[in-house]
Every structure is written in structure tokens, then in C-alpha cells.
Amino acid sequence: MRALGALLLIASLAPALPGQQSQSENSGGNSPVIMQDGGVDQVLQSIYIPPIPNAPFTAIVHTQWIRSLLDGGTYTVVNQRQVARDRAGRIYEERWWLVPKDGKAQSRMNVIQIADPAAHTLYNCFLLETPHRCVVQPFADSGAAANYKPSLMQSGGLPNGDGFQIHEDLGTQTIGGIDTQGMRDTITYNPGVIGNDRPYNRMREFWFAASLGINLKSELTSPDFGKEIFTLTDISTSDPDPKLFELPNGFVVVDHTKPAAPSQ
């Protein structure tokens, strides 16, 4: 599933801001490609859904990514998307562009992902490409995912006196009729450990539904990427519509599950 996660980062990228053009938009005709120094590309890792059998659900994932501006303000991008898992552990996920909150840009679905742990396949279907294609690659999530539990910190000092970490139990909460257990993990690096000139804090808070093996609420905060908030709504524990796990009509399948033929 970590291979899936790497693609999710790319699939969740926001479109260009108003007034910007992508390189591909500028490269046609006689228009020069304009390159410049500096800048940074940031990507977002969304929630993790393990291929657990006999724990079906459908839900809507609401995402907010809040980043700080130098003048003290914030810049927020958002999206929402459907996810599902059936009784066999197959996973369906939509990927939508992140767009500025309360802005004029409209989010669009750009990728559908269908993972099948029994067949060991992961299909990535690209909706905005021409021709439409579904790229299939090996899905190598281990059987340990069937008993997935989130990793937890243990309170105490970091090695070499680099700082400390704190684990907190936040109790229980019912979300959408489902029982969850809340946790908060905070890690603090002392000045100078990672190039920081003051204590550097990272916090992860989540509400885990053991019956589904997923977090129904999750919040991550760090000085380098800001705050990420994921909230699941419209949760149903019925088996999802089987049609969700069918490939879109008219898409060409590109098979990356087999090793490439040796060159002559």
C-alpha cells in the first residue's frame, strides 16, 4: 500500500493558481518554455485504507491543507472524494484536485484507483488524459494489513538528547455511529537538531475506528507543511456497489505487472 501512497501524492496535487501556466501549456507552437530558479513542489499524503476483509464501508473524505504565509495569514486548499472497501478487501478511491478554499477554481476528479489484494493488482485510471487509460501494477500490501493498527509513539526522550516525544490517550468518541479511540502523539526537537533555531514540534491526532481499521478523523500539524485535516462523513458499513470496482468503460489497460522483455 505504500506504493499506492506514493502515487496518491502525485494524484492529489492542486492545479495551477490563476495566472499561472503549466510547462505543457506553454510548450505548444512558438511559445518559449520559461524556466526560473527557486520554488518548491508540495504534495499531500491522504488517509491510509488497509485491505481488510469483512469490514466494508463507503465514506466521503473531506481534506483541508492549511499553510502559513509570511505575513501571518494562511493559505488553505480543500477537496472531498469518495472512498470504499468491500467485504473482499478491495479498495476504491477517487482522487480530486485540491483547490483554494472559497475560491473560484472547481475541483475535478483526475484519478480512480482500484486495489484488489486477492489478485495483487492496483489499477490507476487517469480520467483527464487522452487516450483514457488504466495502468495496472502489482499491489503488494502484505497480509499484515488485515490486522492493521496505527503505529503509536512511546513517551520519553529521543536518542542522543535530540528532544522528546509524548503519547496521549484522548478517550473514546462516537463518530457517525461508530466507536473510535482518540490518540495524540507529539514530538519536539531541540534547537539545532534539524536546522531549527527554536524547539520544533510535530503533532499527530487521530480517532481510530477499530471495527473498520481506519481513522475517521485525523489532524497533522508541523511547521514545515502546516496543518492537514481529514474528516470522514456519510459513513455506511454496508457492502458498497460492486460497480465501483469495475474499470471505467472505454479505458485502455496498460499492464505493468509483468517484467519488461529483455532488449535484443
CA distances from 116 to 136, 157, 191, 237, 246 (A): 11, 41, 45, 19, 11
Bond preceding residue 242 cis, omega within 30 of 0: no
Residues 168-182 have a mean pLDDT of: 96
CA distances from 16 to 20, 48, 99, 179 (A): 6, 26, 9, 39
User: 35: which residues sit within 8 A by CB, 6+ positions away?
Assistant: none
Contact 163, 220 (CB under 8 A): no
**pLDDT tier at 178, thresholds 50, 70, 90:** very high
Q: What is the pLDDT of residue 180?
A: 97
Least confident of 23-32, 105-114, 128-137, 145-154: 23-32
Residue pLDDT, tens place only, 88-116: 999 999 999 999 999 999 999 999 999 99
Secondary structure of residue 79 in the 3-state scheme? strand
Distance CA 32, CA 153 (A): 51
Please report, as a single letter, which amino acid is at residue 67: R
Is residue 264 over pLDDT 70? no
Distance CA 24, CA 33 (A): 9
Q: Using a CB cutoff of 8 Å and minimum separation of 24, what contacts does 194-198 make?
A: 196/223
The closest of 157, 154, 156, 163 to 183, measured between CA atoms, is: 154
Is residue 228 over pLDDT 90? yes
Query: Which neighbouring-strand residues pair with 189?
Result: 163, 200
Least confident of 25-29, 34-38, 73-77, 223-227: 25-29
Is residue 260 over pLDDT 80? no
Q: What is the pLDDT of residue 150?
A: 83
Q: What is the pLDDT of residue 44?
A: 79
Least confident of 4-18, 104-118, 195-209, 231-245: 4-18
Is residue 173 over pLDDT 60? yes
**pLDDT tier at 45, thresholds 50, 70, 90:** confident
Indicate the domain borders of the chain: 1-15+47-149+235-257
DSSP 126: E
The closest of 117, 154, 114, 155 to 251, measured between CA atoms, is: 114
Residues 29-46 have a mean pLDDT of: 71
User: 201: which residues sit within 8 A by CB, 6+ positions away?
Assistant: 186, 187, 188, 189, 221, 222, 223
| Mean pLDDT of all residues belonging to the chain | 85
DSSP H or E run through 228: strand 226-236
Q: What is the pLDDT of residue 30?
A: 56
The closest of 117, 95, 85, 1 to 48, measured between CA atoms, is: 1
Least confident of 2-11, 155-164, 195-204: 2-11
Distance CA 152, CA 156 (A): 13
